[in-house]
Structures are given as C-alpha cells and as structure tokens.
Structure 1
Amino acid sequence: MPQQDNLSGSNSAGSDLSVFFLSGIPGLEAMHLWISIPFFSVFTVALLGNSILLYAIKTEPSLHKPMYYFLAMLAVIDLVVSTTIMPKSLSIFWFNSREISFTACLVQMFFLHSFLCMESGVLVAMAFDRYVAICNPLRYATILTSSVIAEIGLVALTRAVLLVVPLPFLLRRLPFCQSHIISHCFCEHMALVKLACADTRFNNIYGIIVTLIILELDMMFITLSYVKILRNVLRVASKEEQLKAFGTCVSHLCAILIFYTPMVLFAIIYRFGHQVAPHIHILMANFYLLFPPMMNSVVYGVKTKQIRIRVHLLFRGKRF
C-alpha cells in the first residue's frame, strides 16, 4: 500500500532528529477516511458546543456567577484540547500528512498534557464551589469573589505548567537513533518515550507521578467535598430541599464521570493491557480526549435553563 511505503521511506530518513512521522491508527490505515467521519463530527460538536457555552455565559447576566465562571474555564480548556490534537489527526486521515517536526511535536504534547491537568484542577475548583454553595450558602458571595476565582484559575494553570513543563526537556535529552515513526494520531508523552534508544526509567516514573497527582490527589479532594455535601444535605429535613441541593450538583458530577472514567480505564489498559491491539489503545486515547469536550457542553447546555434560553434566542436571531 502507498501509505506503508511512505512510512518505510520516513523510517529510512529517520536519522534527522528534527522530523517525526505520525502513523495515525496502525492496522486501520485503509479505514482512515471512514474513521475521520465520527472524529470530525465529535470535534465539530465540541467546537460549537463550547463556543456557544462561552457566548451564553458572557452575554447572560444571570450566569455571571462563580459556578459559571468555572464552567467558562472548562469550556476554554476543552476548546484548547480539541484544537491541539484534531487538526493534525484529520490531516493524517484526509491527506496522509504524517510529518511533524520534533519541536512541534513537543509543543503539541505540552499543550495537551498541561491543559488536561488544568481541566482536572478546574473540576476540583467546581467541587469546592458546590461545597461552599450548599454548606455555606450565606457566605458564598463573600468566599468566592471574582478575585478568588481568578486566583484559583491561576493556581490551576500554574500547577499544570509546573507539572508538565519538565516532560519536553526530559524528552529532548533522549537519543532517538532508530525509528522516528510515532504510533499515534498525535504526540503523546509515552508514545515518544517508547521510541528512545536509552534508559527511560526516569521518564516513566515522572509520567506515573504526574498521573497519580491528577488522578488520586484531585479525586481525593473532589470526594472529600462531596462527602461533606452529602453529610450536610442529609441533615436537611425536607426531601424537596434535599433534591434541590443534589440537583445543583448533577451537571458537575456528570462532568467528573465524563473526565475521570475514560482516564482511569485508559490508564489501566495502557499500563496492564499488553494483549490489547495497538489500534484499540489509540482509538481509546482519542475517545478519552474528544468525548469530554463534546459532552461537557451538552450536559451543561441541557441542564442549565438560562443557557438553554440564551441558545434558543441565539438561533432565533433575537437579543435581550
């Protein structure tokens, strides 16, 4: 097949460290065009959904509250994650454009991992927001001021950058003396580490540490917030008030499940599923990265009345 010939040629030219080649989905090259259809559809929904979400939050005064400021951060992160990986992936599927410079590869990897880390931090902040709203409603406006929200966003960004910025430097020190073909649709840390012809234990350990910080530490804080919320809500005598309190958490709980469930499954399969075919790994990785950006906008758009009204008016071409 021509695609295989291209990859063989790129492999023989692999002595140039500045150039790498993305394989797309190994074993399914003949189906790339068909695979691109659901990928492009999900990408389009993610772009439109999150852009509309940001528009609704910006233009609807009743949404100028801490919870929706955090949601706006989440929407921006989802847009960045989607646009970081999908244009290059689609260019592979549509035009067989596999070549990527080593620098561009590291930049893509940095943006991808840092914004995923930041998304986890924002979900923790949203859990704290729900805790304050339900457990300390009278102090909600004084605790979560605009300056505090900005500081929380800055802390999430700083943490993400500090955790991820060592990865490109750790990769730069490694020699890539054999294949320069990355078995993936995009540049991902472990996919690059596998190509190095040197001791990569430190890279592996650091990657595991970052994953554990995101998964275990952040999920611990989220769980702690919801344990306190549950304890507080169950003290309320009225069933109606209990349901109302839980109702304010439904969208955030969905966002947590949408983000962390695929991450946990992918991490388990990636580390222990050695018998799983490579194309399954790659398809799951793309699903993990594309599904949350699409679903977050859908969930919050459906669950939030003010957003639904604003979107309805947008499509009807009316304004307040």
Structure 2
Amino acid sequence: MSDSNTTDFTSPSTFILLGIPGLEAAHIWISIPFCIMYTIALLGNFAILFIVKTEPSLHGPMYYFLCMLAVTDLVLSTSTLPKILSIFWFNAKEINFSACLTQMFFIHCFFAMESGIIVAMALDRYVAICDPLRHSTILTSPVVAKLGLAVLLRGAVVTLPCPVLARQWPYCRTNIIPHTCCDHMAVVNLACADIRINSYYGLLVGNLVVSLDVVFITVSYTQILRAIFSLPTKDARLKTFGTCSSHLFAILAFYIPGLFSVVTNRLRHNMTQQFHVLFANLCLLVPPMLNPIIFGVRTKQIRDRMFQVFTHKGI
C-alpha cells in the first residue's frame, strides 16, 4: 500500500482516509462520543418519523417539513458516520474513488437541503402566524410536496458540479486524504491541476445558498415578530412565540456551527489540522443529533404522543 501512496498515477482506484491526522492513537476514545451522537440521531429521527406517521393529528405542513428534516438528517449522518467509525474501530481507511465522489455529493447535497428545509419551515411559521386563516389553503399537501421537491432539486443541482469537476482532475502525487470523509476541497487539493474553478465554485455557491437562506429566514422572522408584538396581551405573545421556539433552536443548531466552520476555513493557517477535521465532523453530527431532541422536547404534540407510546408499552 505504501507504493500506491507514492507512485505517480492519474486515476486512483482508491483513496486513503487518514481519520484525524495526529490523533490516530486516540481514535478509539474519539469514537465513543461520535457513536453516541450517531445513535441518538438515528433513534431520535426515526422516532420523529414514526410518531408523525402514526398520529393523524400531526399530518400537517409543519410536521411534513419536520419529517423531511428527519430524513435529511438521517442521510447526512449515515453518509459519513459508518465510514468514520470503521476507520476508528477497524482501521478501514480505503474508500473507492467512485464511492468517495458519491459521499462528497451526499454530504454537500443534503447539507444544502437541510438549509432549504429550515427555510421552508420558516415559511410555514410565517403563514401560520401572519395569515393564520389562509394557512391550510396556502400550504396544502401538494404545495408542501412541491416545496420539498424544490429543496431536493436545488441541493442536487448546486452540488453536482463538485464531484463532476473532481472526477476530471489527474491525481498524480498521493491518494491520502487527511480527513475522515471525502470533503470536496480535501479531495481536490490532491489533484495535480489548477483547481481554482473548484475553489471558487464551492466558495461562491456555498456562501450564496446559505446567505440567501439566512436572508429569507431573517425577513420571515422580522414579519413574524411584528405580528407577535401587535398581539394585545402578553400571554398571547408568549404563546404565539412559543410555536416558533423549536424552529429557532434548530436554526441556531444548524447555522452557528456552519458559520464557525466558514470562519475556521478562512483562518485554517492559524489552526491545527486536528481541530479543523474534528469541527467539520461535529458540523455533520450535531444538527442531526439535536433536531429530534429540540422538536421532541419543545413541540407539545410530539412530546405527548411520545409519552403515550412509552406508557402504552409500559416503559
């Protein structure tokens, strides 16, 4: 294997994922919190899907978007964590070139999808609070399905050029990726070519998509807050604001790590590779783990249904 890492080649059949460079001796210990977070993400998101499916009263726009978020979180975490744990536990560092590009696509596509779903949930909250009488007629099931399809297509369209461009470059120096997964720039940085188009495209499209989503969310919540503060009583204002609290926590759980990741990428020369890789993994793990907890705790209908399920089973 050492020969394949140093011999010139133009089309590697496999890449080698190092895991967390410099912390190989601690991989087993690092795997423990990673495995716990992944287990919580799996159980929590599957629980959300089960509860919404089995409870007819939850068959509405807000909960349909929540199911989309749960599926996105499951795919996002599952596209990376099994491979990461296999590196940590079994030293299974090899990944097929095509599988690497596929993982790259899924990571970035579903990350963009998660941002889009959060925007769709902001739209739902805006209509529910600012135009409640027309909520059921505006956000019908076909409209919700079309919004979900639009989010999926947007994520796929803006992400597809990344693996397509990465596939065309020659890789003639090394096939060793100093990362736990096939991140776009971690892969193309190994290419023996001018990769500025990848760098510019990733930076422009990534920032543009997230910036537009943040602007839309900000505008939505500006109107929502205006509607809330126009309510006559404090109790009415608190009750109405409470319907947005779980969504607001989900926004913070997703965008704050993402924003910090952008900052660390710009200051990479001031930070160790270990920190960069660890934080990149947390950005992929924390939102899928926290979202079902946030919506399970803060949404009364889901919380009550969960208690009913546990009580019925005698847990």
After TM superposition, is the score higher than 0.5?
A: yes
Shift of 1:234: 1.3
Shift of 1:155: 0.4
Shift of 1:10: 4.8
Bigger Cα displacement from structure 2, 151-160 vs 11-20:
11-20
Q: Output the CA distance in 2 between the equivalents of 1:33 and 1:141.
A: 50
**Residue in 2 that maps onto 1:18:** 13
Bigger Cα displacement from structure 2, 288-297 vs 272-281:
272-281
- In the alignment, does 2:312 pair up with 1:314? no
Contact (CA 8 Å) 1:60, 1:306: kept in 2 or not? no
**Residue in 2 that maps onto 1:125:** 120
- In the alignment, does 2:244 pair up with 1:249? yes
**Residue in 1 that maps onto 2:141:** 146
SS of the counterpart of 1:94?
helix
Shift of 1:9: 5.1
Contact (CA 8 Å) 1:43, 1:82: kept in 2 or not? yes
Bigger Cα displacement from structure 2, 212-221 vs 289-298:
212-221
4+ residue stretches of structure 1 with deviation over 6 A?
A: none
Equivalent position to 1:75, from 56, 70, 75: 70
Q: Output the CA distance in 2 between the equivalents of 1:144 and 1:193.
A: 42
CA offset digits 1:267-301 (Å, max 9, x no partner): 11012231200010000001111000000000100
**Residue in 2 that maps onto 1:94:** 89
- TM-score under structure 1 length normalisation: 0.95
Q: Output the CA distance in 2 between the equivalents of 1:31 and 1:134.
A: 49
SS of the counterpart of 1:30?
helix
**Residue in 1 that maps onto 2:60:** 65
1:31-50 equivalent positions in 2, closer than 5 A: 31-50=26-45
Which residue identity lines up with residue 272 of structure 2 in the other structure? A
Which residue identity lines up with residue 286 of structure 1 in the other structure? N
Shift of 1:209: 1.5
Q: Output the CA distance in 1 between the equivalents of 2:45 and 2:155.
A: 21
Contact (CA 8 Å) 1:10, 1:181: kept in 2 or not? no
- In the alignment, does 2:156 pair up with 1:161? yes
Q: Unmatched 5+ residue regions in structure 2?
A: none
SS of the counterpart of 2:15?
strand
Instruction: Work out the percentage of aligned pairs sharing the same amino acid.
Output: 55
**Residue in 2 that maps onto 1:297:** 292
- In the alignment, does 2:180 pair up with 1:185? yes
SS of the counterpart of 1:248?
helix
Which residue identity lines up with residue 245 of structure 1 in the other structure? T
Contact (CA 8 Å) 2:23, 2:274: kept in 1 or not? yes
Equivalent position to 1:194, from 189, 193, 198: 189
Q: Output the CA distance in 1 between the equivalents of 2:179 and 2:8.
A: 17
SS of the counterpart of 2:180?
coil
Contact (CA 8 Å) 1:176, 1:195: kept in 2 or not? yes
Q: Unmatched 5+ residue regions in structure 1?
A: 1-5
**Residue in 1 that maps onto 2:223:** 228
1:104-119 equivalent positions in 2, closer than 5 A: 104-119=99-114
Contact (CA 8 Å) 1:134, 1:245: kept in 2 or not? yes
Contact (CA 8 Å) 2:84, 2:180: kept in 1 or not? yes
**Residue in 1 that maps onto 2:129:** 134
CA offset digits 1:198-256 (Å, max 9, x no partner): 11111000001121122210000000000011111111121111111111100000000
Which residue identity lines up with residue 302 of structure 2 in the other structure? I
Which residue identity lines up with residue 98 of structure 2 in the other structure? T
Shift of 1:14: 6.5
**Residue in 2 that maps onto 1:3:** none
Contact (CA 8 Å) 2:7, 2:173: kept in 1 or not? no
Q: Output the CA distance in 2 between the equivalents of 1:114 and 1:310.
A: 32
Q: Output the CA distance in 1 between the equivalents of 2:115 and 2:215.
A: 12
SS of the counterpart of 1:48?
helix
SS of the counterpart of 1:20?
strand
Q: Output the CA distance in 2 between the equivalents of 1:30 and 1:13.
A: 27
Alpha carbon RMSD of aligned pairs, Å?
1.4
Contact (CA 8 Å) 1:49, 1:298: kept in 2 or not? yes
1:263-278 equivalent positions in 2, closer than 5 A: 263-278=258-273
